[in-house]
Structure 1
Amino acid sequence: MIVTLIVLCEVGFWVLLGLGLTLRYVARRPRLGAAVLLCEPLLEVVLLVVTAVDLKNGAAPDWKHGLAALYIGFTVGYGHYMITRADARFRHRFAGGPPPVPAPQHGAARARHEWALWLRTAVTAGIALVLLQGAVWYVGDSGDVSSLQGWQGVALKAVLIHGIVALAYTLWPPKAGPGEDGEKDPDGRPESARAGSRTP
């Protein structure tokens, strides 16, 4: 049941996101669209309540409860980020907004971007760890909590691995290729194009 609910919450997240943005930019109903988007957190509340009730009714804590905690943490850590990016794409496509700004690919800007994502991963893990520890205390000595503790290890490993990736981008930032980040003239052309247009 828990796994099914996680899948339904994931599907519901994207359905509500698509519906909210469609109402906001296609149907020109921004208030109604915003109201639909505000329903997103209710999915995680439902999942949290069902997981707690499942444990309260005597279900043995296992990987499903750990996965639910990690999913809730991910939604808290990355949900706003995904909604913001989707909103920018919809606004550009249907409301004449500016093109979405792509994530930086080179230099210090890419390193800062990776560390910002790492902070979201840390929030994800922090929420999951709190929920998992609460489940461990709730079960106490009356049951096997090894699966919950195993998911705590997964959350910590995710933070560590993502931190190593962000550190690698900091120490060895990828450099832009020719013409990718060159100096631009007042017309917006890169330096390479400007040089190529000169006549002897």
Structure 2
Amino acid sequence: MILAAIIACEVGFWAAIVGGLVTRYVFGRPRLGAMLLLAAPLIDLVLLVLVAVDMLRGGTASWHHGLAALYIGVSVAYGHRMIAWADAKFATRFRGAAPRPRRYGAAYAVACWKDVPRTVLAASIAAAVLGGLILFVGDADRTSELVGFLPILGVIVGIDLLWAISYSVWPKRPPVAAAG
């Protein structure tokens, strides 16, 4: 049930974003579009409630519950950035706005380093959700899978940190212009 809820919430998240942007740019209704965009964070709340209800009804935690916590953390930490990215794409497509410039070299490395605190925030939120569920349920046997998910959050932060380090040492190069 939780895996289906995660999938439904992810689809709902992007449906709210795309719906809001289509409403804003295609139909010229910016206020209605903004209201649809505001629905995206509510979807995270729905998922959190579904996970808590599942656990309260006697469900045993699985990796799906850990994934739900991670989804909520990433959505909160990166949600605004994802919406801004999609908004820029729509503005380029439907309003003729200039596309965002691609980053290379030091600018790309700086962008990678700016993501590290976001990833730490996402992992911290996920850890707080997991910890809250563990305390809320109060049954170590039913929540042991949640405790086992905590090291995965550390691995995710470590990978993002290595990503930033790697682009600091080996900067991303711009594509070579095609001769011809």
Asked whether the equivalents of residues 120 and 157 of structure 2 are also in contact (C-alpha less than 8 Å), the reply is: yes
TM-score, L = length of structure 1: 0.82
1:146 Cα deviation from its structure 2 partner: 2.4
Aligned partners of 1:176 and 1:59: how far apart in 2?
Answer: 50
Residue 114 of structure 2 corresponds to residue 99 of structure 1: no
Q: Which amino acid aligns with 1:41?
A: P
Deviations 1:45-74 (A, max 9, x none): 000011111111111122121111011111
1:89 Cα deviation from its structure 2 partner: 0.9
SS of equivalent to 2:138: helix
Residue 112 of structure 2 corresponds to residue 121 of structure 1: no
Q: Which has the larger radius of gyration?
A: 1
Asked whether the equivalents of residues 59 and 142 of structure 2 are also in contact (C-alpha less than 8 Å), the reply is: no
Aligned partners of 1:172 and 1:89: how far apart in 2?
Answer: 28
Aligned partners of 2:176 and 2:156: how far apart in 1?
Answer: 34
Aligned partners of 2:131 and 2:140: how far apart in 1?
Answer: 15
SS of equivalent to 1:101: coil
TM-score, L = length of structure 2: 0.91
Q: Which position in structure 2 is the counterpart of 1:87?
A: 87
Unaligned runs of 5+ in 2: none
Q: Which amino acid aligns with 1:120?
A: R
Which one has more relative contact order, counting CA pairs under 8 Å at least 6 apart? 2
Count of aligned pairs: 178
Aligned partners of 1:177 and 1:36: how far apart in 2?
Answer: 37
Percent identity of the aligned residues? 45
Residue 37 of structure 2 corresponds to residue 32 of structure 1: no
SS of equivalent to 1:98: coil
What RMSD over aligned residues (CA atoms) do the two structures have, in Å? 1.8
1:145 Cα deviation from its structure 2 partner: 2.7
Residue 3 of structure 2 corresponds to residue 22 of structure 1: no
- Change in 2 beyond 3 A, CA 1:140/1:69: same
Q: Which position in structure 1 is the counterpart of 2:47?
A: 47
Aligned partners of 2:56 and 2:142: how far apart in 1?
Answer: 15
1:141 Cα deviation from its structure 2 partner: 4.5
Aligned partners of 1:152 and 1:37: how far apart in 2?
Answer: 31
87-96 vs 116-125, greater mean Cα deviation:
116-125
Q: Which position in structure 2 is the counterpart of 1:143?
A: 141
Residue 126 of structure 2 corresponds to residue 108 of structure 1: no
134-143 vs 7-16, greater mean Cα deviation:
134-143
**Bigger helix share:** 2
